[in-house]
Each structure stands twice: as C-alpha cells, then as structure tokens.
Structure 1
C-alpha cells in the first residue's frame, strides 16, 4: 500500500465516520458513538501502559507525542498523565475532528503530518506513544514510524507502542507435552553491551506429543546474574514445522546482550506464549556463561535467521471481521533488533489483546538510548 493510498484511506474514514474508524465497534457505525463514552474508553488502556512505564522505572516526562492519534481518544486520557500532549495523524480530517472535540486546549494539541517525517526537531519530546494505530500500516511504514519516534524522543526517554506480530489461533499444550532437550551449538562470548548476536541450538522433543508449529511454541532466552534475572524477555524464534516426539530441529535465536558489562548466564528455554515457560512445569533449560564487554565484538554472520525474520514481518494484510481496515504484523524479533541497532533498550514486551482475538499482539516499552 503506497503512502498516498494509506493517507487517502484514513482521510476518507475521518470524513465519513471518524469515531467508528478509531474504535470499530460494529454496533457504533454511522455516528453511533456517544462522545463521552468514546473518550472514556481511552482511560483504561492508558492507565495500563502508564503502569508498565512505572514498573520499568521510567517516566512519560512532561511532553509526549501520540502518533496516529485519530480523533484524540487516547490523547485525552494521556492529558491526565503529562503536562503537554501533541497528537499527530496523517489524516487532516482526523486532526480536524480531534481539534473540534478537544477538551484540554491548554495542554492538548493536534498536528497533521505527511506520513514520512514528523514535523518536530530531534529529541524534542520526553516520550512517545502509539496504540492500535501502526497495526493498520504496511510494515515498511511501521518501521519508518518507529524510527521517527526514536528520532524525536530525547535520550533516556520512553517509547511505548503496540504492534501485532501475526495472526494466531493457539491450542494450549498439556504440561507433559512441554519437555525439551536443548543443546547449545554456538553461543559467542565475549559480546558487546547491547549487541545483538545469533545463538544456535539443537532442540529435541522428549515428550510423547507432537509440537505443532503456528501455536506460539518458541525457543526464547533470559539473561541472569547467578540465579537473578536481568532480562527475562529477550529473543524468540518459532518452530519451522511440526516436531514429532523423539525428533530434533536446529534453531537460530537472536539475543541482545545486557547494557552493563560483566559476567552473565544466558539461559535458553521453550515457551508457549500466554501459557508458560517450560522450565516452570518440569522441562530443563540450558545455560552458558557469557562475558559482556564494553565494545561490540565481531561474530559470525547469521545463517539466514534475519532473512526469515524480515519475511515474517512482510506478510500480507488481513481483513478484520468487524469490517475495519486491514491489519499488518511485524515480527517481535525484528522490532528488538531494530532498537538494538539504534542503541536503545527494549525494557519490556507484554502480550496484549489490542489487535483482537485473531492476532498475536504485543506492547513494547523502550528506553531511548544515547544519540549514536
């Protein structure tokens, strides 16, 4: 979808039915939203992400940009948490509607932009947020938008954003199916602080049940100091196909080293997203010692893992059952690698339901790194 077509789509939605286009309840089409009720729906989601920011030891600060603000539903809720909110949208019709219903004109403003470059100076905001907005943009536009948010947020500031990963219908494994033998084949050490590196492992299904692909069954990793977690959620890689009992498959996992130098344990374990890490139900993870140094270290190139991630990210759009605009997903590993490359830290990744029941979706909390 070219940018002009994307902008035209939202421009028309903003003219025809702006509140429904932002929040697509099938029963609220054709002007069916009550304005007070519409704005009230933003309070809960913003309270939830504010808690995530607090738990990460970060702050929204004084000035926040709300990208893809639409008619200002979340911008109004954000005004209770920061001194100044600037909502930005590609559709002038949405910006006009947001300005029309603006209840905090002293602290809340709305700006139109061209879909390419945000009309703000570098490092001019303390924080950035975008929820249930980027999911409607093709992946190249999603990545470009994330880079623009990285540009306009100051070092040490926070970015909070939600992105779907892929359509999903999960069937929960029984705990006796969650048994794996994990053999490390390649785990570089030393590696640089914040450096992204590939780790290869051979995994064997030691249970009596087939592991079905496409069910959010993934090899993942944690970073530990002793037995204390430093980074619990880091990389993920999916099964390439069903894995029958007694059979093995080699997987490559992209991991990102902690930001502080020192001695760490890199732990690999399986997880079924939204269910449990397998070590918690009796499977045995594997650990290896890794030294993290100040400067990046040359490592062998990935054996195709990054290419597979990009292919997963550029998947075709999917129509929504509620009649809303099409949806696109971006792989979580690609998002992690993007911000690691930019020198920022993905502090937390939390599964959410913002993309609907047919999509696997995540909310990311990122601490913006120093300018590089």
Structure 2
C-alpha cells in the first residue's frame, strides 16, 4: 500500500514536470530547466563521486554501473562514458519514458522499472558501482532498509556503493520541526494545497546508526561517511561509501 502511494506520487511528478521533480529548484518549476544545464549537473556530480572513489581503498572495475532512482537519466547519462553498461532503475513509468526519449544517443544504458523495494532483475554480485542520491529520502524507512540489503546483495565483492539519505530532521529549522511533529500524512495535505496534487514529494529519514547496522547485517563494509545536506537545511543528511569483501 505504501509503495503504491509513493509510486503514484512519482508517476504524477514524472508526468507533470519531470526535470523539476528530479532537481526541485523553485525557479525551475513548470519546465524551467534548460536540459543541457540539467544534464551538466549530473556530469559534475558523477565526476566528483568517481574522484572521491579513487581516493578510497577500492580497485573499481568499470563494467556495470547501477543508477538507482534514475528519474530522467541525469546520472545514468553521466555514468555512460565510464562504464561498459549502465542500468537505470526507477519506480515511475513516466520518468522512464522521458529518460528513454532524452538519452537515445547513449546505447549502453538500459532503463528498467521496478517495484521500489527490491532488485529482482539483478543477480548476486553483478554490479561494480551503485550510485543513489536524493532518492532513498522519498521512501519509508522499511523500504530504505530493504533496498540497502538489495544493494549489498547485487554489489560485487570489491565494488563500490555510494548513497545518500537523511538521518533526521534539523529541529533548528521550522520545516524540519514541522516534519518531526506532523509527519508526511499531515504535511501532504499542505503540500497538495500549496503545489497541487501532482507535486507532492514525501521525505523520510533513516537514522545513521540504523543505516550502519543494516549494512553490517547485509555483509557490507562502510569505508567512509560524510555529512551531505543535499536534502536541504531541514534535514541532516549523510553520504555513505560502502564496499563488500
């Protein structure tokens, strides 16, 4: 039931304003993103992620990369020149339709829809590099826990997983305090009134200690954790660099 609600939200977002839904800058609503500018943000982000990866004690192979929560393919496209094959996975058919349309010249990318809580189409240890940013935060904690287990399962030994999720609300901000006190069910009413039904984005947290425990139980090893508040000032977020032995 929960996943159905989340999927419906992202089908609506993907149909209404898919580029803004991926990078929700206020001034970019209603088709405000220039697509070249939009995709350049992905190129810069992946370049930074791979530079950080090179500083870790991981001998990364560049065969298969997974972009989880790929949206319109912003990061899948950026991964394409470095990897033999890129798999972009998303919960929304509308997002994937735009991803396929926008990335026709990148023939090593495969876009796939999934349920939002598992990776049944990918076998154990098949993926060299997994990247997931500003995605898990839109799924409930139970779903995030399931996905971290799946990421660990499909990551090859010696591969690298990089993902971000908010640990908790920033109670020093009004929005963070309201999210803590009211939760998504109440806030969704206000979001609908302010932005319209097609622009509701839920935010969910996953405490850092629980993330680390989940990864440990899945047999993954955390190499590095950095503060990374890309979810906005209302949340305290971290990016995790993870491998598997």
TM-score by length of 1: 0.57
Equivalence map 1:251-290=2 (5 Å): none
Matched, 1:361 2:237: yes
For structure 1, the residue ranges without an aligned partner over 5 or more in a row are 172-314
1:154 alignment counterpart: 156
Measure how far apart 1:76 and its partner are.
Answer: 1.3
CA distance in 2, matches of 1:69, 1:87: 5
- Give the corresponding residue for 2:167: 165
Which residue of the partner structure matches residue 78 of structure 1? 79
Q: Measure the CA separation in 1 of the matches of 2:226 and 2:17.
A: 31
Residue 27 of structure 1 pairs with residue 14 of structure 2:
no
DSSP 3-state at the match of 1:70: coil
Counterpart position of 1:122? 124
CA distance in 1, matches of 2:74, 2:136: 15
1:19-41 CA distances to partner (integer Å, 9 max, x unpaired)? 11111111111111111111111
Contact 1:53 1:60 in 2 (8 A): no
1:343 deviates by 1.9
| Structure 2 gap segments, 5+ residues each | 174-181
1:1-372 counterparts in 2 under 5 A? 2-58=2-58, 59=60, 61-118=62-119, 119-168=121-170, 316-317=183-184, 325-369=201-245
Structure 2 Cα separation of the partners of residues 122 and 326 of structure 1: 30
Structure with the greater alpha carbon radius of gyration: 1
3-state SS, counterpart of residue 41 of structure 1: helix
CA distance in 2, matches of 1:115, 1:67: 10
Higher RCO (C-alpha under 8 Å, 6+ residues apart): 2
Count of residues in Structure 1 that have an aligned counterpart in Structure 2 = 227
Contact 1:60 1:158 (8 Å CA) reproduced? no
Aligned residue for 1:38, secondary structure, equals helix
Flag the structure with higher strand content.
1
What is the distance in 2 between the residues matched to 1:145 and 1:103? 28
TM value normalised by structure 2:
0.85
Q: Distance in 2 between matches of 1:54 and 1:93?
A: 35
Equivalent residue, structure 2, for 1:235: none
